[in-house]
A and B are shown apart, each in its own frame.
Chain A
């Protein structure tokens, strides 16, 4: 079956630091990959996505590249801000079930 393994948190960084949150997956077929973000007290929002190997998703300074050879989709940002403090979820979707499989989430706290 499908599964997503995400770097455990919490992660605490100073403002302007470099961020990497690791995500690896196991899936049958050719999954689509996603990063969702959940700000405190809110629902999940799609941050970025990639639908095929070597695609790079990007949004709000965040990037992630779909690496089929390493089955990874690591999230990166060059300079984090306090407003980036949130929980980040890696997810994949494949097959006819149209179901998202989520990782366990990584809590990010950015200190001023």
Chain B
């Protein structure tokens, strides 16, 4: 069983569209994250949720909105997509009570044309 899964793996869309990326973890972790990785492989934290509560909200455009329906899911919705949103988006999870170690999903490659 995949520990942290994301769908879709690839997403190609046009500027101005709205899209969502879904993430699910079956590790029983209490915290989930979204990262953005640019073309130079630089990783930037975007959001973090602990037990469905937002705890990290870095400076990202408010076109990006995370939603956590339960502890096992953290979805990322993006409105009015722009060319600069093209990147690989990674979901991760951890059990922060015991460890800082994070487990990553396989990534979603978003291409905005």
Contact = CB atoms under 8 A, between A and B. Distances in A.
Interface of A: 32, 34, 36, 38, 42-46, 49, 87, 89, 93, 97-100, 102, 104-105, 107
A55 B92 CA distance: 25
Contact of A100 (B55, B100, B106): B100
* Chain B interface, >50% SS class: strand
Interface in B41-98: 41-43, 45, 48, 50, 55-56, 90, 92, 94, 96
In the complex, the 6 A-B pairs of residues with the closest C-beta atoms, listed nearest first? A93-B100, A43-B104, A98-B96, A105-B41, A44-B104, A102-B43
A13 to B, nearest CB: 19
Given A42-B106, A43-B107, A44-B90, A99 B45 contact: yes
B102 interface: yes
B3 to A, nearest CB: 10
Nearest to A95: B100
Given A89-B43, A105-B41, A100 B102 contact: yes
Contact of B107 (A42, A98, A102, A107): A42
* Chain A interface, >50% SS class: strand
A46 B104 CA distance: 9
A105 B43 CA distance: 9
A34 B100 CA distance: 9
B41 A107 contact: yes
Contacts of B41: 38, 87, 104-105, 107
Contacts of B101: 34, 46, 49
- Most chain A CB within 10 A, of B41, B48, B56, B92, is at B41
B25 interface: no
Contact of B90 (A43, A97, A98): A43
Given A43-B90, A49-B101, A89-B43, A97 B55 contact: yes
Contacts of A93: 100
Contacts of B104: 36, 43-45
